[in-house]
């Protein structure tokens, strides 16, 4: 197979780590993700789809991997053109909701839900970082299906997940349940909270209540319209978002800043951090997010971890 496909050694390493959600192939503008027995081809041109689809079937046969379904997702720039993946091959009667394993943590997927199926595999290393460093209380902003919260909860952390979408938070609760944590029980309701509201309104409220967090996740969309029609643009507003997060950061907290906005490179995020911390006379160290063996660096989100001093 060409070098754009993952090696048998890497496939074996994923298998040993109980990970069946990963990329299998990447070229600019087209890649394939494996989600258990299902595969998702993200493509720009119809020719890419035809070529990769044929090769995918050969790749699965070569590695004796079961292939239930192939989905295709046309990569669209405009929000209005972003459609859920289309089923290209496989039994349409199979459930659209499935689950996958990442480092033995389970996450639910729903291929019919929206443009995204429920798990951003490019955040795998950051989820590992959350799980490995002991946290007392995690704030997961723009939490989507709460994958960071689940990773923290499995490391015994309390969690607060905030997202505008009630549906995504419900899927987040399901992700907790998939991992044996029932957030609807009295005992867990105190430890894991889900707030369906605008991050920019909720953080000041948490501050008023005197809440602090020793890990904070800031992984916002490139653009969004919050409550009261207020817009968020990553390149314009990441500094204000960090400033807000600092209001509820515990001493020596660590804060993940991550973005898919192509106009924000690592040095941009680092200079946003410096220009936000300096006037507040705060200090911290910065560490770039780790690379992943199945995703080219150029296709990864820009990520830095800030550790406050």
Ligand X SMILES: C[S@@+](CC[C@H](N)C(=O)[O-])C[C@H]1O[C@@H](n2cnc3c(N)ncnc32)[C@H](O)[C@@H]1O
**Element of type H or E holding 141:** strand 137-141
214 alpha carbon, distance to own chain's centre: 19
Nearest to 276 by CA among 257, 250, 301: 257
| 232 scored as a contact of ligand X (CB under 6 A) | yes
The Cα–Cα gap between 126 and 233 comes to 23
Provide the edge-to-edge strand list for the sheet that holds 302-308.
192-196, 158-163, 137-141, 213-218, 249-259, 302-308, 284-288
For ligand X, the closer CB: 27 or 181: 181
Candidate segments 3-11, 87-95, 220-228, 285-293, binder of ligand X by CB under 6 A? 220-228
The Cα–Cα gap between 183 and 197 comes to 19
**Element of type H or E holding 98:** strand 97-102
Among 102, 174, 198, 294, binds ligand X (CB under 6 A): 198
| 218 scored as a contact of ligand X (CB under 6 A) | no
Determine the size of the site formed for ligand X (CB under 6 A). Answer: 20
Tokens describing residue 83: 């459609």
Nearest to 33 by CA among 2, 73, 1, 62: 73
| 110 scored as a contact of ligand X (CB under 6 A) | no
The Cα–Cα gap between 152 and 59 comes to 35
Among 33, 102, 163, 174, binds ligand X (CB under 6 A): 163
How near is the Cβ of 224 to ligand X at its closest, in Å?
Answer: 3
Among 30, 49, 100, 162, binds ligand X (CB under 6 A): 162
How near is the Cβ of 1 to ligand X at its closest, in Å?
Answer: 29
Among 55, 60, 96, 164, binds ligand X (CB under 6 A): 164
Binding mask 120-159 for ligand X (x = CB under 6 A): x--x------------------x-xx-xx-----------
**Residue 103 gets which letter from DSSP?**
T
| 84 scored as a contact of ligand X (CB under 6 A) | no
How near is the Cβ of 126 to ligand X at its closest, in Å?
Answer: 8
How near is the Cβ of 230 to ligand X at its closest, in Å?
Answer: 7
89 alpha carbon, distance to own chain's centre: 26
Among 90, 226, 239, 293, binds ligand X (CB under 6 A): 226
Q: Which residues does residue 216 pair with via DSSP β-bridges, in sequence order?
A: 139, 255
The Cα–Cα gap between 159 and 167 comes to 18
**Residue 214 gets which letter from DSSP?**
E
Candidate segments 208-216, 217-225, 243-251, 281-289, binder of ligand X by CB under 6 A? 217-225
Footprint on this chain of ligand X (rule: CB under 6 A) = 120, 123, 142, 144-145, 147-148, 162-165, 168, 198-200, 219, 221, 224, 226, 232
């Amino acid at each position: 197979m060409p070098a754009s496909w993952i090696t048998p050694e890497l496939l074996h390493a994923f298998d040993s780590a109980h990970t069946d959600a990963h990329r299998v192939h990447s070229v600019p503008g087209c890649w394939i993700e494996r989600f258990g027995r299902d595969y998702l081809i993200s493509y720009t041109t119809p020719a890419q789809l035809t070529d990769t689809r044929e090769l995918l079937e050969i790749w699965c046969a070569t590695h004796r991997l079961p292939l239930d379904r192939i989905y295709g997702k046309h990569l669209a720039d405009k929000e209005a053109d972003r459609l859920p993946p289309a089923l290209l091959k496989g039994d349409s009667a199979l459930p659209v909701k499935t689950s996958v394993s990442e480092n033995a943590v389970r996450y639910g997927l729903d291929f019919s839900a929206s443009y995204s199926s429920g798990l951003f595999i490019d955040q795998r290393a950051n989820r590992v970082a959350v799980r490995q460093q002991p946290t007392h209380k995690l704030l997961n902003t723009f939490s989507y299906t709460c994958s960071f919260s689940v990773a923290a909860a499995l490391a015994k952390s309390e969690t607060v997940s905030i997202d505008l979408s009630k549906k995504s938070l419900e899927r987040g609760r399901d992700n907790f349940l998939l991992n044996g944590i029932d957030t609807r029980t009295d005992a867990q309701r105190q430890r894991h909270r889900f707030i369906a509201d605008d991050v920019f309104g909720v953080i000041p409220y948490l501050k008023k209540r005197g809440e602090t967090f020793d890990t904070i996740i800031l992984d916002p969309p490139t653009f969004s319209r919050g409550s009261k029609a207020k817009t968020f643009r990553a390149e314009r507003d990441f500094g204000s978002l960090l400033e807000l997060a600092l209001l509820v950061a515990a001493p020596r907290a660590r804060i993940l800043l991550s973005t898919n906005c192509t106009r924000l490179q690592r040095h941009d995020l680092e200079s946003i951090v410096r220009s936000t911390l300096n006037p507040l006379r705060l200090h911290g160290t910065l560490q770039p997010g780790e690379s992943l063996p199945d995703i080219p660096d150029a296709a990864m989100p820009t990520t830095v971890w800030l550790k406050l001093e």
